Amino acid sequence: MSFNRIDIDRWGRKPYFEHYMKESKCTYSITVNLNITTLLNMIRNKNVKLYPVFIYMVSRVINLYTEFRTSFNDKRQLGYWDEMSPSYTIFHKEDHTFSVTWTDYSNDFSLFYKRYLRDLEQFGNKKGLWSRGELPANTFSISFLPWVSFTGFNLNLYNDAEYLLPIITGGKYFSVGEEVFLPVSLQVHHAVCDGYHVSIFVNDLQKLVDSCEEWLI
């Protein structure tokens, strides 16, 4: 997958990038509750799993915007990937550990779901932090905490604030009256993402949930 270098001197975001990478290194997170009432009913009717559906929706939004695909490559060059695939955690019930694997992204849900099931069958029972070996460079991180609902979630990365890609965490869904909500946390680096971009992510994710009958086939 192609990595497109950014010419910082011609980049409109240069002053913001340099400020939040040098003077005020800053990552931040936001947690929202997605209304998944319709989606959950659809999932049950289709007999599919929530976790890969969640991974797909997040991946689809990430791939719409370069701000969420901007990072350093292995030569520490700044740029953005044409497309990114999700890396995600798989929980091992027998010893309460987890492993990280990934699935190649496709905008077509049915194809992505087939790939997910294939990868889960091949790598789901493999122990160790990295069940599939080294992650491709064009992956971003998703995890899920199905045991607890939360109102806030924050990761503290001690890497000199140079990890620019988003990190997404889902929690245990809960009911309020007849509606069902899923807590979702998004963590980003302020050097590449402002509040506007976070708002786009949240709103687009909710739109995908609301339009699930159009793509969850």
Contact present, 147 and 180 (Cβ < 8 Å): no
Catalytic residues: 190
> How many Å apart are CA 109 and CA 115, to the nearest integer?
10
Q: Nearest Cα to 34, choosing from 167, 189, 149?
A: 149
